[in-house]
Amino acid sequence: YDPCCAYPCQNQGVCLTLPANNYTCDCTGTDHYGIHCEIPTWRAWLKKVLKPDPETVHNLITSNSLLWGIINRIPFIHKQIITYVYISRGDMVDSPPTFESDHSYITLNAYFNESYYGRALPPVPTHCPTPFGIKGPKEYPDVDMLIKKVFMRREFIPEPHDTNVLFQYYAQHFTHQFFRTDYKKGPQLTKGSGGVDVSNIYGLTEQDRQALRSRVDGKLRTQVINGEEFPPYLKDVPGITMDYPPHVPIPEEAKFALGHPFYALLPGLFAYATIWVREHNRVCDELQRLHPGWDDERLYQTARLIIIGEVIKITIEDYVQHLSQYNLRLTFEPELTHGTHFQYHNRIHAEFNHLYHWHPLIPDTLQINGTDYAIMDMAYSTAPVFKHGLDNFIHSMVNSRAGALTTRNHAHVLYPVLKKVIENSRQLRFQGVNAYRKRFEMKPFTSFQELTGDTELAGVLEEMYGDIDAVEYYIGLLAERPGPSITPLTMVNMGGPWSVKGLMANPICSPKYWKPSTFGGEEGFNIIKTASLEKLFCLNMRTGCKDISFTVP
Ligand SMILES: COC(=O)[C@@H](C)c1ccc(-c2ccccc2)c(F)c1
């Protein structure tokens, strides 16, 4: 068989098959040499010796709160650390993108065909002996058996850090602006534009964006229901399509025109969509006060720039801060990347999409004012929001526990979604979780026990996969023993680079954008710099806001 199927090249060396069952490893740019790029240059050796193990680093950053309390308050040191986080995470993401899912080697398509999700590692060649190259079983384990034995919830496991449902819906609402798989054409393709473009608020195409505008004062279309501002009914916005199930009779007063067709599915997404539409219109009012002469177009475009800034600010300083459980205070300071080699380009990777399948966060029911709603009771319905009022609905999200991001915690109704993501990862021929551990500078797992920290689960996985190098990507991410963060450690160290790159490579972070005039002057700039999750809700809820955060009070 093709000797490159054994992945002989280490440290990201590229394997090139030669005639007569020969091969060569291209060690260019790996800081290593030798036939398998296994010998480090003195520079790489020094880095390896000095760079502590990611697990140690992670435990350090998520503990020692006293030490971090001091470091967070010394601007010079804090800025150095944040700069390092931005640059080091950014450097781990190939930019321009190198691989896509239709070839197991580098192509120009990976760069020029923007319909592709990028790939951090190329797919396993189809001619290799097993789905992982040469290791493990000749066939993937049966997906239904795998789901039943490893993923299905026996009983609800609450998230150990008191994470609430407000966090879960933030993750779902935020990520759907850039995870836009083109299901009709295949899981390797996306309709997205590569990053935080707030297309989930404004619409993905120019046509949708125009349809959702009021064309007055820069504002988005809204309507008043029970004295409060809400998005418009779908029937009132020609051209907008929302994903509703065919043949399910849903009254027109329950269908709304939102920035993303998927947001028809859950009231939690409708609630976030409503809050962000209100925030956009509130920013328009602020801008109009500052610039009475500005027309609708300038108010709309400038407000959209401010909203993107707010989204990135809140995502780093509230969302990632909670997710990582870091005691290091994470900040949104684009000027720290100015004058460095950091590049303001981003491509969403297929593996990032799969990593972000966080359905275990979803509880079986949501209790609102004493009424228990099962997930399916809420599907395609906004009734819970209008029956109890938006503020009560938000209050219930704040006070409801999310599920732990681990195995055996997927709600049963989500079986089809989970099956789809596992089948897609097989269609995309993802390499095993250990290949990704090495790709992101972590040591590969040496045993099933080391992966899971749970003897029974280790046995189940060993029986299915045989070889630790054959454990599938998504399975390994979720089966990993819990760490100090909301997600297990591998998810942090892989999600980190894609997430930080996706946030900080936004055009508004580049030197030519990141200045007061872009955002309507100092006041507009300050809306971004003072944005927070709590402010977002408290400025846009009618009856006051209490305990707004990502943890159950
Ligand atoms: C490596 O860690 C980091 O760079 C920190 C800042 C960090 C950054 C991002 C994430 C993160 C991981 C998964 C999905 C979304 C965000 C994360 F969990 C931690």
Helices 522-529, 267-290: axis angle to 10 degrees equals 150
Looking at residues 69-98, what average pLDDT do you find?
97
Q: What 3-state DSSP class applies to 469?
A: helix
Question: pLDDT-derived band of residue 51, with 50, 70 and 90 as boundaries?
Answer: confident
Is the pLDDT score of 120 beyond 90?
A: yes
* Closest CA to ligand 1's atom 2: 496
Question: pLDDT-derived band of residue 3, with 50, 70 and 90 as boundaries?
Answer: very high
User: For residues 39 and 27, what is the distance between their CA atoms, to the nearest angstrom?
Assistant: 10
pLDDT above 90 covers what percent of the chain? 97
Is the pLDDT score of 166 beyond 90?
A: yes
Looking at residues 298-317, what average pLDDT do you find?
98
Question: pLDDT-derived band of residue 194, with 50, 70 and 90 as boundaries?
Answer: confident
Pocket residues for ligand 1 (CB within 6 Å)? 85, 89, 320, 323-324, 330, 485, 487, 491-493, 495-496, 499-500
The pLDDT value given to residue 221: 98
Is the pLDDT score of 544 beyond 90?
A: no
Tell me the average pLDDT of the chain.
97
The pTM for the full model equals 0.98
Contact 280, 307 (CB under 8 A): yes
Count of alpha carbons within 13 angstroms of residue 438, beta-carbon side? 18
The pLDDT value given to residue 441: 94
Looking at residues 4-30, what average pLDDT do you find?
97
The pLDDT value given to residue 122: 98
Looking at residues 233-250, what average pLDDT do you find?
93
Ligand 1 atom closest to Cα of 85? 4
Q: How far is the CA of 84 from the centre of ligand 1 (A)?
A: 14
User: For residues 262 and 278, what is the distance between their CA atoms, to the nearest angstrom?
Assistant: 20
Q: What tokens does 267 get?
A: 């009231």
121-164 pLDDT, tens digit per residue, is 999 999 999 999 999 999 999 999 999 999 999 999 999 999 99
User: Which are the contacts of 74, defined by CB distance < 8 A and separation ≥ 6?
Assistant: none
Contact 150, 452 (CB under 8 A): no
Q: How far is the CA of 504 from the centre of ligand 1 (A)?
A: 13
Is the pLDDT score of 228 beyond 90?
A: yes
From 32, 58, 78, 176, the catalytic residue: 176
Question: pLDDT-derived band of residue 52, with 50, 70 and 90 as boundaries?
Answer: confident
387-433 pLDDT, tens digit per residue, is 999 999 999 999 999 999 999 999 999 999 999 999 999 999 999 99
Helices 390-399, 165-175: axis angle to 10 degrees equals 110
Looking at residues 435-455, what average pLDDT do you find?
97
Residue 176 a catalytic site member: yes
Residue 349 a catalytic site member: no
The pLDDT value given to residue 304: 98
Q: What 3-state DSSP class applies to 187?
A: coil
Question: pLDDT-derived band of residue 184, with 50, 70 and 90 as boundaries?
Answer: very high
From 356, 380, 436, 473, the catalytic residue: 356
420-433 pLDDT, tens digit per residue, is 999 999 999 999 99
Contact 387, 141 (CB under 8 A): no
The pLDDT value given to residue 80: 98
356-383 pLDDT, tens digit per residue, is 999 999 999 999 999 999 998 999 999 9
